[in-house]
Structure 1
Amino acid sequence: MRVEDLKVHFPVRGGLMMRRQAVVKAVDGVSLRIAPGETLGLVGESGCGKSTIAKALVRLVDPTAGKIVFEGEDITRAKTGRMRPIRRDLQMVFQDPVESLNARHSVREILEEPFVIHGGFSPADRRKKVAELLDRVGLPAASADRYPFEFSGGQRQRIGIARAIALEPKLIICDEPVSALDVSVQSQVLNLLLELQRELGLSYLFIAHDLAVVKHISDRVAVMYLGKMVEMASSEAIYRDPKHAYTKALLSAIPHPDPTREVRRMLLEGDVPSPINPPEGSAFGHRLGHPDYESTVGLDMPLVEIDPGHWAAADPCCLEKADWEKARSQL
């Protein structure tokens, strides 16, 4: 998948005539690529636009601008009829398995639904497929006749994963699939996703706010702040040598199991700016009250390649002096 300058804006309406009074810039110019068999981790604070990107990529919300290309086809404005066959190869695992699974349907009905929608499967074929899916995600065959409320959170998420892989897709968007689970269960679900990736050759966009989880599963990591991408590099490079000040702040918040280890925390001050009225310059520099903020007002701060394969926003408020010099030379 290739995403170019994606924007998703939502109108804010009010007044007697419900006229548009403002715009929420949930996603404001994001570009990324996901290669076959790759896992791209997408991280950032709550409200930065991660889930909106996920919904836009599978066309659950319409992009305002930009381009989404999947398997060489531009699907940015694809209608429902065109999207239906594409969704065989493009699936999603949602954050909350309680909300994403129909409580009135049995597990068998939930897992048979993709085969019913896309056709070509007899009732016997569907029953066989359901049994295979349950076995693949580590659930007993008897689970098919039970209902979602009879399962634990981790088991419900396994059902959601089984539904996502039913048609053997090429790319799965995982929208914080383990954030609602206990820590012990998180590792089981993450290992299941890795095992399925090896077996089926899947690509993942893995969205999370826990950088320790992202490090475990991702090949590359992209960091978002207030609707924009601020850094992107391999997982190893991000954790070894973060460039952007916001990335450094996120990494400093990761808890360490060794209580004797001294950790330098980067405590953030100020409030996250509103996506309805974002700063005109560096969003993170504005939050920090950086002395160079005024110089960034109206400045274009695109991602530039500071080191080979390591991209960061060309933001003088958020880069070390040497990195800023590298970035400025490319503007």
Structure 2
Amino acid sequence: MMSLLSVQNLKLHFPVRGGVLLRAVASCKAVDGVSLEVDKGETLGLVGESGCGKTTLGKSIVRLLDPTDGRIVFDGEDITHSSVRALRPKRRHMQMIFQDPAESLNPRHTVRDILEEPFIVQKLGNKQERRQWVMELLDKVGLSTSAADRFPFEFSGGQRQRIGIARAIALKPKLIVCDEPVSALDVSVQSQVLNLLLDLQRDMGLSYLFIAHGLSVVKHMSDRVAVMYLGRIMELAPAEVLYRDPRHAYTKALLDAIPVPDPAKRRKRELLQGDVPSPINPPEGCAFGFRMKHPRWKDSVGMDLKLEEIAPGHWVQKCPCCVA
């Protein structure tokens, strides 16, 4: 069965300019050779620390950013170098939910204007039909129809994110990139938004690329999980397998960072040490082993550190300092 989304060796390098003439003197390797697939109706979780390239990868997939190299195949069509005009009909089927709803919603537009805009851009329906569709969208995301004539600043953070979700599902897409959709919300509201996303996935057959900082939220949402570090995938496995049997040292460190709800319970933690290396001048060999000053890091220098399948569906970047 063909995957809905296939990303192959994707790279996105931003030029670093300097000197009087602002010439490119180096490049920031935000995404550096990522390969992954998302099947129809599946949720692939993508986790990692801030600055590891998760959001950049998500924006590249929906072509808000142009990749430097690699391929993006969506619904059987290579869209890596598609023009803006060629992408327009594809936009109906791939949408994005942004991290901060306050920043992603136009403060000068009413909710009705915000939700009508996708239909206008895609030239769908007349004015009366679009108004009816807006009411249906508000109902789907749990907002009253009176919200249509109000402005984004009149809503709470959770309600604004519901408006963002309504905009994302307006054109009945096949894939939604969720860029940390609950990280800016109160803990009490996060579960409501996550359950809304699960309900919409069930009812509409959606596929999600779910980006998050921590593995605790991703566990609730994902079928498979990819762990990203400094622009590369370190480990990729079914969610249950990853939580039960993590193989990469970075994955283990992220799992150790998940808070335990029982304050009386103590456990041994493998705390992360050092700083994340610069993506402008990444170290040779294993970047995580270099950060941790692992005694076997030098053994990884010069090695071709690619993902290897160690069990059915369980991929890991094997290196002497991070994988036993």
Task: Return the TM-score normalized by structure 1.
Answer: 0.96
Q: What is the Cα-based RMSD across aligned positions, in Å?
A: 0.6
**Partner residue of 2:173 out of 166, 169, 172:** 169
Structure 1 stretches of 4+ moved >2 Å: none
**Structure 1 equivalent of residue 14 of structure 2:** 10
Distance in 2 of aligned mates of 1:306 and 1:263: 28
Within a 5 Å distance, the mapping from 1:42-57 to structure 2 comes to: 42-57=46-61
Find the partner of 2:201 among 183, 192, 197.
197
Q: Where does residue 321 of structure 2 map in the other structure?
A: 317
Q: Distance in 2 between matches of 1:79 and 1:71?
A: 17
Correspondence for 1:40: 44
Residue in 2 aligned with 1:255?
A: 259
Q: Distance in 1 between matches of 2:214 and 2:187?
A: 11
What SS does the corresponding residue of 1:180 show, helix, strand or coil? coil
Matched, 1:128 2:132: yes
For 2:252 and 2:89, locate their aligned partners in 1 and report how far apart those are by CA, in whole Å.
Answer: 41
Instruction: Name the amino acid aligned to 2:172.
Output: E
* Cα distance in structure 2, aligned partners of 1:282 and 1:120: 50
Would you say 1:75 and 2:79 are equivalent positions? yes
- d(CA) in 1 for partners of 2:264 and 2:245? 23
Pick aligned residue for 1:112 from 107, 113, 116 = 116
Whole-Å separation in 1 of the counterparts to 2:193 and 2:315: 30
In the TM superposition, what whole-angstrom CA distance separates every residue of 1:21-79 from its partner, at most 9, and x where no partner exists? 11000000000000000000000000000000011001011000000000000000000
Distance of 2:58 and 2:207 partners within structure 1: 14
Shift of 1:182: 0.5
Pick one of 266, 270, 281 that aligns with 1:266.
270
- 1:91 paired with 2:95, answer yes
- Output one character per residue of 1:172-218: Cα deviation in whole Å (capped at 9) or x when no partner: 00000000000110000000000000000000000000211000000
SS of 2:125's equivalent in the other structure is coil
Deviates more, 1:287-296 or 1:242-251: 287-296
- Give the partner amino acid of 1:272: V
Q: Which runs of 5+ in 2 are unaligned?
A: none
291, 295, 303: which one aligns with 2:299: 295
Q: Does 1:217 pair with 2:221?
A: yes
C-alpha deviation, 1:120, in angstroms: 2.8
Name the aligned partner's letter for residue 253 of structure 1.
A
Query: 1:230-281 deviations in whole A, cap 9, x for unaligned?
Result: 0000110111010000000000000011122222211111111000000111
> Is the aligned partner of 1:148 residue 2:146?
no
Q: Which residue does 2:235 correspond to in 1? A: 231
| Separation (CA, whole Å) in 2 of partners of 1:31 and 1:64 | 14
SS of corresponding position for 1:232: strand
SS at 1:177 equivalent: coil
Distance 1:179 1:256 in 2: 19
Please give the TM-score of this superposition, normalised by the length of structure 2.
0.98
Q: How far apart, in 2, do the equivalents of 1:309 and 1:210 lie?
A: 22
The share of aligned pairs that are identical, in percent, is 67
| Separation in 1, partners of 2:284, 2:309 | 23
Q: Distance in 2 between matches of 1:288 and 1:161?
A: 39
Distance 1:298 1:181 in 2: 43
Q: Which amino acid aligns with 2:208?
A: Y
Cα distance in 2 between the residues matched to 1:8 and 1:116:
32
Letter matched to residue 9 of structure 1: H
Q: AA paired with 1:4?
A: Q
Q: Which residue of 2 aligns with 1:329?
A: none
Aligned length: 320
Matched residue of 2:128: which SS?
helix
